[in-house]
Chain A
Amino acid sequence: MQTSADLNQRTIKDLRRISHKLSKQIIEITTRAGSGHPSSSLSMIDILTALYFSGVMHYDPHRPQWLERDRFILSKGHGAPGLYVTLAEAGYFDADLLPTLRQTGSPVEGHPNMRALPGVEASTGSLGQGLSIGLGHALAARLDGQTYRVYVIIGDGEADEGQIWEATMAAAKYKVDNLTLIVDNNHYQQTGAVEDIMPVLTPFMEKWRAFDWYTHEIDGHDMQKIVSSLEMMKSVSGQPQVIVAHTKKGKGLSPFEADETSHKHGKTLTKEEAQVALSELDDMYADLD
């Protein structure tokens, strides 16, 4: 007889299996495209996997505009490859489109375009804007008497943008509790460490707490923790929630770690580097075999 703990373990195993697949796809499609942001996609791919495949989010890929769906907004739009592999896996569009990333005529554009692909909830790529957009969706739910939830991922460096804090204050003012922000705290922005570019930006927890948000901090690569904290946020009442997820830009894979400045921000791997990264990913998930 299976216990609930066994079932849970299997679920986590399944999720890690999906994350393994999506991580490989991120490397494959960006290396093929020759441009894009694989390290920024890989740092949040475990979180995306938990959101879309653990049952945290309610959605129907055959009805992308279903009013009652939960919304996910990728505010750090340069993480588009991570979003695309996730949406394809979720069934929003055929995975055959993925290798057309960044090609003329392909809806799989360099940054997310909500008019081009089903499942993309916002057109992003200019940083700082997704939390405000998410707040708009969350307020619309309230006005329409709906209970859907809104999830937004921002990058840590993205919090340099003042608009993030404008939205943070407004969400607290309206006590929007169907809004969960996840900070992909991968510690590097385009030209250096977040702590060097803007020294007082971190630590994050105290700042959101000061604005009366419910705050929670996790290892953003621990699938069990990601799923349980996302579930926990659903029971928070009267406050927006932020999960500060400590992640590794490039998921700890050595070709990204080799760049100490920015972990290859906006740089793709060569074919040779990609082989190394794919092999390291296989090792990372060897326990699943």
Chain B
Amino acid sequence: MELGKSIGLEMGVATRDAFGKTLEEMGAEIENIVVVDGDVHDSTRTRFFKNAFPERFFNVGIAESNLVGIASGLAASGKQPLAASFAAFLLCNAYDQIRMGIAYPRLDVKLVGSHSGISLGQDGPSQMAIEDLALAASLPYFTVLVPADEHAAVWATRAMFDHHGPVYLRTGRPDAPQVYNVDSTFQLGKANVVREGNDLTIVACGLMVAIALEAAHTLSQQGIEARVLDMHTVKPIDHAAIEKAALETGAILTAEEHSIVGGLGAAVAQIVTAKQPVPMTYVAIMDEYAESGDPDDLFDKYGISAKHIVQKTTELLDRKQAS
């Protein structure tokens, strides 16, 4: 994908790569970390950990339910397990096991789902998780992290081990443009303002942060200044940043590489409607499955490209004007 190029963002590595390398580093720092794999360590990038710490790595085969159950037992006996697979298989195949074995007993298990969203492209909808954020966020006690680029992914990987409790980390396959630099700072549950603006706020996560910045650039040329908020922690969500955005910019657009049902947009809307009602609109996958294809084409076809953000902003600002 050519994301971010038009506004001068440098291409970085995929979030799955940054996660994998950071996990390997953390394996050296924390002897208690154990990784459980569903025979996709080359794809999820837990292979770096596997190669460095083979005795703490278990490939249990293509069996996500068992994968999660084993992680639950490891955590209950005091280890710090991380279970990784494709987001779609991990969340959808093993949801009951995640619910009973991790969420309900509130165990310290880290789940990492790779190949999320439609940026997966050619492999098609069977492999594309567009429901994972809704599934993970609806589990009590879960923290849900969606890093926008490699720097955010490094931080998120470290942050989840600093946090005691269940975490779901969403990673992606394609290289991601660098929204941040190596000195950027992050805090769990605290959104980052990656662009200032007061005409509306675009709340985004994952790859959509770069796309939101592209859209903001186009809007700026039309005299509209968009604030862009990276909601890297989808749960617990940053209430204060959302209320502030609603109050100061008077209109909110959410952008996510996920179904419109139960994801970032829904979470933001809950706060806006309860605390600081302002006009809102949503850029997301509209309750349908995508298809195989080039990721850029898919973002365009399924309505989550920068162009769509710009279009919906126009309509949103009309409503803001009228309200």
A interface residues (Cβ-Cβ under 8 A, vs B) = 67, 71, 113-115, 121-126, 128-129, 131-141, 143-144, 162-163, 166-167, 169-170, 173-174
Min CB–CB distance A184 → chain B (angstroms):
19
Further contacts, 15 of them, CB under 8 A, given A163-B63, A166-B65: A113-B105, A114-B105, A115-B104, A126-B99, A126-B100, A133-B73, A134-B73, A135-B69, A136-B73, A136-B74, A136-B77, A139-B73, A166-B60, A166-B61, A169-B63
State A143–B27 Cα separation when bound (angstroms).
14
- With A67-B78, A122-B105, A129-B97 as contacts: A137 and B73 at CB distance below 8 Å: yes
Digitize B69-83: 1 where CB-to-A-CB distance is under 8 Å, 0 elsewhere: 111111111110100
Q: Do the beta carbons of B65 and A162 come within 8 Å of each other?
A: yes
Q: Do the beta carbons of B70 and A132 come within 8 Å of each other?
A: yes
Chain A residue at smallest Cβ distance from B66: A166
Chain B residue at smallest Cβ distance from A170: B60
Interface residues in B37-80 (C-beta closer than 8 Å to A): 55-56, 58, 60-61, 63, 65-66, 68-79
Interface residues in B228-285 (C-beta closer than 8 Å to A): none
Q: Do the beta carbons of B56 and A143 come within 8 Å of each other?
A: yes
6 contacts between A and B (CB under 8 A): A67-B77, A122-B73, A139-B58, A140-B74, A140-B78, A166-B60
Min CB–CB distance A289 → chain B (angstroms):
42
Q: Name B70's contact: one of A124, A126, A162, A170 (CB within 8 Å).
A: A170
Q: Do the beta carbons of B105 and A163 come within 8 Å of each other?
A: no
- With A122-B105, A132-B97, A144-B78 as contacts: A166 and B63 at CB distance below 8 Å: yes
- With A170-B60, A170-B61 as contacts: A140 and B77 at CB distance below 8 Å: yes
State A71–B316 Cα separation when bound (angstroms).
58
Secondary structure dominating the interface of B: helix
Top 8 closest A-B pairs, CB basis?
A136-B73, A132-B69, A140-B77, A166-B66, A166-B63, A133-B73, A136-B70, A136-B74
Cβ of A122: which chain B residues have Cβ within 8 Å of it? 72-73, 76, 101, 105
Cβ of A166: which chain B residues have Cβ within 8 Å of it? 60-61, 63, 65-66
Chain B residue at smallest Cβ distance from A115: B105
| Residue among B70, B72, B96, B99 with most chain A CB within 10 A | B70
Min CB–CB distance A53 → chain B (angstroms):
24
Q: Name B77's contact: one of A113, A137, A167 (CB within 8 Å).
A: A137
Q: Do the beta carbons of B66 and A167 come within 8 Å of each other?
A: yes
Q: Is B106 among interface residues, defined by CB-CB distance under 8 A?
A: yes
Q: Do the beta carbons of B76 and A129 come within 8 Å of each other?
A: no
Q: Do the beta carbons of B70 and A163 come within 8 Å of each other?
A: no
State A207–B104 Cα separation when bound (angstroms).
32
Interface residues in B96-125 (C-beta closer than 8 Å to A): 96-97, 99-101, 104-106
Cβ of B79: which chain A residues have Cβ within 8 Å of it? 140, 143-144
Cβ of A121: which chain B residues have Cβ within 8 Å of it? 76
Q: Name A114's contact: one of B70, B76, B77, B78 (CB within 8 Å).
A: B76
Q: Do the beta carbons of B65 and A128 come within 8 Å of each other?
A: yes
Q: Do the beta carbons of B96 and A136 come within 8 Å of each other?
A: no
- With A143-B34, A143-B79 as contacts: A133 and B101 at CB distance below 8 Å: yes
Cβ of A71: which chain B residues have Cβ within 8 Å of it? 77
Q: Do the beta carbons of A133 and B69 come within 8 Å of each other?
A: yes
Min CB–CB distance B45 → chain A (angstroms):
22
Q: Do the beta carbons of B105 and A136 come within 8 Å of each other?
A: no
State A170–B59 Cα separation when bound (angstroms).
9
Q: Do the beta carbons of A169 and B70 come within 8 Å of each other?
A: no
State A126–B195 Cα separation when bound (angstroms).
46
State A144–B104 Cα separation when bound (angstroms).
26
Q: Do the beta carbons of B100 and A124 come within 8 Å of each other?
A: yes
Cβ of A134: which chain B residues have Cβ within 8 Å of it? 73
- With A143-B34, A170-B66, A174-B58 as contacts: A136 and B75 at CB distance below 8 Å: yes
- With A136-B81, A139-B58, A143-B79 as contacts: A129 and B74 at CB distance below 8 Å: no
| Residue among B58, B71, B99 with most chain A CB within 10 A | B58
| Residue among A121, A133, A144, A174 with most chain B CB within 10 A | A133
Q: Do the beta carbons of A139 and B70 come within 8 Å of each other?
A: yes
